[in-house]
Structure 1
Amino acid sequence: MTTAAPVAADALRERLSRLDTAALSDAMDSLRTPPCVLPGITTRTPGSIACGPAFTVRYRAIDDATSFHNAANYIDDVPAGSVVVVDNGGSRTCTNWGSLLSSVAQHREVAGTVVHGSVRDVLETRTAGYPLFSTDVTMVSGKNRVVLDRTGAELDIAGTPVRPGDWIFADDNGALRIPADLVEEVVRRAEAVERTESRIREAALGGARLDEARARFGYARPWEEGGEDEQH
C-alpha cells in the first residue's frame, strides 16, 4: 500500500491563506487536540495574516548590567516563509521587536511575527504591512534588559506549547498553533467548516429559518459536510 506524499508547504500556505482562525479552531476542536490558542496575542497590523512554520525564539533577563547587551541577533537565520514566535514571558516592561526587525524580516520574506511580550514602532510596521502580533506594546527597548536565550527551543506561550516547525496562523481574531503532524488534516476540516457555514448563510439569507438551515447542512459537525445536499 502506498502512502500519499505530504502536502508541500507552499500549497498548505496557499490553502491556509483562504481560511481564518475561527474555522481552524473549529477544525482543531473536532480533533480534540491539546490547547491551540496563543493567549493574549493581538494584531498590531489589522487585516494582516501570519501563516507558516514556527521559528522559535526565547529571551531571558540579563544577569550582568555593567556592559552593553544587544537584545538579539537571529533574524538572518530565519527561513523565508516562517513565522517568528518570540517568548519573553508575556513581559510588558520592554520590547522584543521593532521596526528594524520588521523591515529586515519583510525584506527576507518572513511570513510574520508573534511576540509573547511587547513590541514597539507599531506605526512603522503597520504602514509597511508587515504581519505583527503581540501581547502588548511599549516604547522601552529590550537592550540591556533581556538577551537571547536560544532559538529552536520548545516554547510555553501561557500554557500553549509551540515547537519549531509547528504551524502558526494569526489574524484579527488572535493567534493559534497547529501541530506539524496535524496541519494537513486541520486544513482539510477547516475548509469543510467554511463550506458548511457558507451553505447555511446562503440558505438563511435566501429566506430559510436559521435553525432549519443549520440542521439541514450539518451545523453540529460542520467538518463532515453531512448535510442533506451532500452527495456520497
Structure 2
Amino acid sequence: MSSETRPPIFRMAREDVWEFPRPNMDLVPELIKYSAATVAVVARNVVGTPSTFFNGVAPLFRGKGHDILGPAITLQYAPQRPDLMPTGEYAKVEDQNHRIAVNITQEGYVLVVQADGNTRSGVLGGNMMLALQHNRKAAGLVVHGVVRDYSEIAQQNFPIWTQEARTTTDYDAQHDLAPLAVNVRISVGGHTVMPGDWIRADDDGVCYFPGDKIEEVLDGCNKHWWEPAARHFLMEGGHLTDCYPMPEHRWDEAAVWQRANGHYVPDDIG
C-alpha cells in the first residue's frame, strides 16, 4: 500500500474533532483562589486516585505569577511515521493536528499536550504561542514534553508548563513526533486526561479533575477557607499547632482577619 492510499491516521478533519460538554466557567474566579496544591488534595479524593499532580511537569517560567484554571483541549503526539505523515515543519499544514488544536482552543481554555516526556522535539514554537495567547486567548499550555523558541516565548509571558521546565533547540516536532489526534483521551504526567477536564496550574505544578466536578472540588476547597489567616498568624509568630490546621476555637478570629483582608469566609462562620 502506498503512502497516498494509507488511512489518514495523522489527519483529522475539523468536523471529526471530539465534542465534549462545555464546563461551567462561572466558578473559576472562586476556585482559582485556592492553590494547585490545595486543589490537588481535594481533587484526589474526588477522582479516587493517590494523586492528581502531573509527574515531572513544571512551570517553564517559575516566579512569574502564572496562575491558571481552565478546561482542557487535548492534543496527542506519537512517534513519527513518515509513511503516514510527511515530515517537515510546514508539510501539508492544513492536515497538522497541532494547528487544528491551537485554532479550536477557546478563551480561558488550557491546551494540554501528550508528548510522552520527549525532551528532544519541541511540540510548539513561538508563533504557535502567539496564536494561543493573543488570537485564541488561551489560559495557558501544559506539555508532557518540551517547546521551542525560549527567548521568544519568554518575552510573551505566556503561562507554560513543560517536562522538567525544559525547552529544546534540537528539532521541530514533525521530525521526531507527529500530532496524532485532537480532543481525545491522553496520558500526561502519569494521569489520564479527558477533553474538558479542569486543569489547575501554578508555581507548584499542574493537577487535574473531571469537568463535571468543579462544584464538588470547590466545596472541598472551601473547607480550607482559613488558610490565609493561618499563614498570617504564623508570620506573626504563632505556634504551628495553634494555627495549622486552624483549630475551631480560632475560627471567629480567623474570619475577622479574612473579611478585613478580602478573603473568603463561609456565611455560617463568625
Give the TM-score range, shorter chain: 0.7 to 0.9
Matches of 2:81 and 2:236 in 1, distance apart?
65
TM-score, normalised relative to structure 2 = 0.71
Shift of 1:85: 0.4
Contact preservation (8 Å) 1:92, 1:138: yes
Deviations for 1:28-86, whole angstroms, at most 9, x for unmatched residues? Answer: 35547323111111111332123210000001122227954446322112222210000
DSSP 3-state at the match of 2:61: coil
Deviations for 1:95-153, whole angstroms, at most 9, x for unmatched residues? Answer: 10211111000111111110011111122222211111100321121133222110111
Change (3 A) 1:98 1:134: same
Matches of 2:192 and 2:25 in 1, distance apart?
24
Structure 1 residue corresponding to 2:99, chosen from 73, 77, 87: 73
Aligned residues: 217
- Which residue of the partner structure matches residue 35 of structure 2? 20
- Which residue of the partner structure matches residue 185 of structure 2? 154
DSSP 3-state at the match of 1:94: strand
Contact preservation (8 Å) 2:141, 2:159: yes
Contact preservation (8 Å) 1:99, 1:121: yes
The answer to whether 1:48 aligns with 2:79 is no
- Structure 2: segments with no counterpart, 5+ residues: 1-22, 90-95, 253-267
Larger Rg: 2
TM-score, normalised relative to structure 1 = 0.82
Which 4+ runs in 1 deviate beyond 6 A?
Answer: none
- Structure 1: segments with no counterpart, 5+ residues: 1-7, 219-225
Question: Residue type of the partner of 1:39?
Answer: N
Structure 1 residue corresponding to 2:77, chosen from 59, 64, 68: 59
Identical-pair percentage:
24
The answer to whether 1:123 aligns with 2:133 is no
Matches of 2:104 and 2:129 in 1, distance apart?
14
Q: Which moved more, 1:62-71 or 1:107-116?
A: 62-71
Aligned residues: CA RMSD: 2.5
Question: Residue type of the partner of 2:153?
Answer: T
Deviations for 1:129-185, whole angstroms, at most 9, x for unmatched residues? Answer: 111110032112113322211011111124211001000011111111111222222
Matches of 1:67 and 1:178 in 2, distance apart?
36
Matches of 2:129 and 2:112 in 1, distance apart?
13
